Amino acid sequence: MSGAGFHVHGPHDHAVEHAAHDGGEADAGFGGRMAMTTAILATVGALFSYQGGATQNNAMIFKNNAAIKKTEASNQWNYYQAKSSKQNLAELAMALPGVDLEKYRKEVARYKDEKEVIRKDAEKLEAESRKWDEESEKQIHLHHRWAQAMTVIQVAIALAAITLITRKKWLQTAVYVAAAGSGILAALALLHI
C-alpha cells in the first residue's frame, strides 16, 4: 500500500524480493528445466504409447489371420475326409459281385490323387497358420516392451512433478535415470529384443 511517497510492504513482498535477489533466478531456471524435461518426456511417452498400440493391433491382426488359415485348413481336412469316404465306398463296391471293376478302380485312383492334392493344401494352410501365430507372438512381445517403456517414462514424469514441488536434486537424478531406463526399453523394442 502506498500513498504520498510512503510505501508499506505486504507480508510476502519481502520474501519475493529476497528470492529474486538470492537465487530466485536459479530456482526459476531449475523449474524451467524440469518443466521442459516433463514436456519432452510426455512427448516421447506419446510416441511410445503409439508404438505400443500399433504392435498390439498388429498382433491381433496376425492372430486373426492365423485363425482364418486354421479354419481353411480344417475345411480342407474335412474335404479330405469326404474324399476318403468316397474312396472307401468305391473300394467296397469293387467287392460286390457283378460290378464294373475297372470303373471302381479308376474311381479309387482318382480319389487317391484328389486326396493327395487336398492333403498338401491342408498342410500348407496349417503351416501358414503357424507362421501367423509366430508373427503374432513376436508383435505381442514388442507390445510388452513398448508398454514397459511407457510405464517407466510415466514414472519419470511423476518424479519430475515431485522434483518441481520439492526442489530435490537427487529426485532430478532419479528422473533422468528413469528416462534412460525407458529409453533402453524402447531401444530393445526397436531392435526386436
The pLDDT value recorded for residue 19 is 42
> Is it the case that residue 18 has pLDDT exceeding 70?
no
Span 100-117, pLDDT tens digits: 999 999 999 999 999 999
Q: How many Cα atoms within 13 Å fall on the side-chain side of residue 23?
A: 4
Mean pLDDT for 26-48 is 89
Average pLDDT, the chain: 89
Span 78-106, pLDDT tens digits: 999 999 999 999 999 998 998 899 999 99
> Is it the case that residue 153 has pLDDT exceeding 90?
yes
Give the sign of the dihedral formed by CA 170, CA 172, CA 175, CA 176. negative
> Is it the case that residue 156 has pLDDT exceeding 50?
yes
Mean pLDDT for 149-173 is 94
Name the residue type at position 182. Answer: S
pLDDT bucket at 20, cuts 50 / 70 / 90: very low
Mean pLDDT for 21-42 is 78
Q: How many Cα atoms within 13 Å fall on the side-chain side of residue 20?
A: 6
> Is it the case that residue 11 has pLDDT exceeding 80?
no
Span 38-56, pLDDT tens digits: 999 999 999 999 999 999 9
> Is it the case that residue 132 has pLDDT exceeding 70?
yes
Name the residue type at position 63. Answer: K
| Grid cell for residue 38 | 516433463
- Packing angle between helix 24-94 and helix 169-190, nearest 10 degrees? 30
pTM recorded for the entire structure: 0.73
